[in-house]
Structures are given as C-alpha cells and as structure tokens.
A and B are shown apart, each in its own frame.
Chain A
Amino acid sequence: MHLKSWKDTFLDPATSPAQYTKTLSIKYPYHFTMQDVGWIRTFASVRRFKMDSSRSFDTRDTHISLIPLYAFSPALESLHIVSRGMFSSRISKLALTFPLLHSLEVDIRGISREDYDYGWYDANCPSDDGSKTIPPPLILPVLTGTLKLSIRGGLVLMVPMLLSLDGNIRARRLDLGCRGDNPEDVKWTQAILEECLPTVETLGVYLSATL
C-alpha cells in the first residue's frame, strides 16, 4: 500500500476497505504522525503486516516513529519489518503491543555496530518519547511461529530483549543472521536456540564476515 495514495483515495477511513484487510504491506512510511492513528486503527483485522522502509534515499530511516502503529490490529499474528537503520528497540516495543503475534521477522540492513558503539544513534535520533505514555501490554505475545533476525548492528541489539520475555519465545522456525567476525552474534544465536530447544524444528543460520 502506498500510504499517501490510500489516504487520498479513502478520505473517510470508516468507509474504506481497511476493516476487511488481512494482509497489509506498507512501503516508505515516512509520514506517520500521531494524526494517523485513527485511520491506521481501521485496519483492525490485519493478521500479517509488513513495513519496508529500506528503499529510501535517506540511508537511515531512524526518524520514523512507530507509535501510530502500536496495537493497531489486535488480530495481528505476523510482523515483518525491513529497515535501513531503524533502532531495534522501537521494533521490539511495537512487537510487544500485539498479544496474538506469533511470528516476527526483522531485517535491519543499515546501521552499523560502529554507529551504535560510537553513539551515532543517540546523538542523531530522537527517541519515541511518546512510547513512555503508552501503558505496557497486559498480554505479551508468545512467539510460536517464525523468528527471523538479520540485524546489521548485531543480534545483541534485539535478542536480549526477546530473552527477557521469559519463556515467550517458543519458535518452531529460527532464522538468524550472524557476523562471523562478531563472536557475540554466535553467542546470541546459541542463546536464542537454547530458549527454543523444545520447539525448534527448523534452524537456518546465515554466517558471514559481513552481514
């Protein structure tokens, strides 16, 4: 879906086909504001959601706020985010707002570990301050489907949060991208595997000197 085209075509969210939509894909979500919450929530039956902000001329899409998407569909089962540099904690917060979520795919292609280590992110990217005003979810999702992580800055940016869910990671399929020159990635891959030992049926690992 092209965001602007959709909004131009369906001026009244209440009469749009949004309520019947099961699969939603958004590209270039650069104009999300809190004013969009109303029409986004009309997609309340969506089960599979993909957002791809990776083909931007702006090589770092860190400025995109995900707050308007929080809990937009209580029926959401699958979340797939493709980004060039979105901070993984924002994606984690978003994922935790969908109680029925069972599959999570995150592909962050741009931000480098060096950026992270040297404070590039903190210096240049405002946080999702509004998230502080959103109450924590009453029901945490249990990831029983696919967990796919490919994070340029390292698995450490996301896996510790997932492990903190304390038993809610029971994926049947794990698909993890590792950097061979980053021993921590191998460690975190093993950690997530340990969490899913009773359930994992398919394990896919990509290992490279660069991700």
Chain B
Amino acid sequence: MQLTCFPAHTHVRLDISRARNLKKLEFRCGEPDVKWVIETLQTVAPEHENLQILVFISHDSAIHRNKLTPLHVLRNRPYYTNFVDALGATLHERWLDLDRLFVQLSESHSIRPKILWGEKWMEQLLPEAMKVGIVDKAAVRL
C-alpha cells in the first residue's frame, strides 16, 4: 500500500527568497512527502547562510492513515527491513531529491538540516547527506 503523496502537478512551494531576516525554518509534515520541502528550499537566497532548517515528520498520522502496521514501523523492528518499499517509488525519489538538495545547501550556505524522524530510515532516505554527515539526527527514538 502506498503512502499519501502530493500529485506531481500540485504546487506547494512557499517562496522564502525575499524573507531576508529568516533565521529558522521549520517544516512539519503530516505525511512523509517532502515535495513541498524541496520546492520551498529551492527558493533559499544567498542571505540565508546558516539558516536553521528543521524537518519533522508526523509519522503516526501518516502511518495510521495508510494502515501500515504501526508497531512494526514505529519501533523499527528488525523484521521491518525495507522502509523504502513502504514509501513507494514516488516518495522515495522525492527523498533522494531532498538528499541532493541538502548536500548542495551544505556546500553553498553552510546549512545543517535537522531531521526528526526514525534514525535508521534517514540512512535509507538521505544516503548522501548522512554519508557526509551534514544532517543532524535529532531523531526521536521510535
């Protein structure tokens, strides 16, 4: 079963490019779809150096609504081995896009995003950013 995601044609971008005094940006996602996070972060301006970025995934609403077994997912049990499959190809591809964007923002703006979600999933969803150590795993222990 696939999780809910925004249709490709839906524009959920916020343009923050002219908010020059912005110091902290918090995304709280009801679903693990990061399309709007990506589209918004694409508007980061040169003035946004060291911008604090927090991405929080509200796992329970998404997981419950899509009827995935909550205990398997929320507690990261070993028998739940492939979270990428549970996300589906579309959402996974968006996470990989976010992964690449985080690496770019790290290089261009010294930005270190903070993610609040399952720590093990981050290694699957943000492989490059995790590898170079630019994401703070302010992970909630699920």
The chain A residues found within 8 Å of chain B, CB to CB, are: 180, 183, 186, 189-190, 193-194, 196-210
Question: How many inter-chain residue pairs (CB < 8 Å) link A and B?
Answer: 73
Contacts A198-B21, A201-B24, A207-B30 aside, 20 further interface pairs with beta carbons under 8 A come to A180-B10, A180-B31, A183-B10, A186-B11, A189-B14, A193-B16, A196-B19, A198-B20, A202-B25, A203-B16, A203-B24, A203-B26, A204-B28, A206-B29, A206-B30, A208-B31, A208-B61, A209-B30, A209-B31, A210-B61
B19 touches A193 (CB 8 A): yes
B15 on the interface (CB 8 Å rule)?
yes
State the 3 A-B residue pairs at the shortest beta-carbon distance, nearest first: A208-B30, A204-B26, A206-B28
Q: List 26 A-B contacts (CB under 8 A).
A: A180-B6, A180-B10, A180-B30, A183-B11, A186-B11, A186-B12, A186-B13, A186-B36, A190-B15, A193-B14, A197-B19, A198-B21, A199-B21, A200-B22, A201-B22, A202-B24, A203-B19, A203-B25, A204-B28, A205-B27, A206-B28, A206-B29, A208-B29, A208-B31, A208-B61, A209-B30
B21 touches A190 (CB 8 A): no
* CA A209 to CA B64, docked complex, whole Å: 13
CB distance from B45 to the nearest CB of A (A): 11
* CA A146 to CA B6, docked complex, whole Å: 29
B21 touches A207 (CB 8 A): no
B58 on the interface (CB 8 Å rule)?
yes
CB distance from A79 to the nearest CB of B (A): 22
**Which chain B positions have C-beta within 8 A of A203?**
14, 16, 19, 22, 24-26
* CA A202 to CA B12, docked complex, whole Å: 19
A209 touches B4 (CB 8 A): yes
Known contacts A180-B6, A180-B36; is A207 also within 8 Å of B12 by CB?
A: yes
**Which chain A positions have C-beta within 8 A of B19?**
193, 196-197, 200, 203
Instruction: Please give the number of chain B residues whose Cβ is less than 8 angstroms from any Cβ of chain A in the complex.
Output: 26
**Which chain B positions have C-beta within 8 A of A205?**
14, 26-28
* CA A183 to CA B11, docked complex, whole Å: 8
**Which chain A positions have C-beta within 8 A of B20?**
197-198
* CA A91 to CA B94, docked complex, whole Å: 39
A186 touches B61 (CB 8 A): no
B23 on the interface (CB 8 Å rule)?
yes
Q: In this complex, what residue of A is CB-closest to B37?
A: A207
**Which chain B positions have C-beta within 8 A of A199?**
21
**Which chain A positions have C-beta within 8 A of B6?**
180
* CA A186 to CA B14, docked complex, whole Å: 7
From B26, B30, B31, contact of A202 by CB (8 A): B26
CB distance from B80 to the nearest CB of A (A): 23
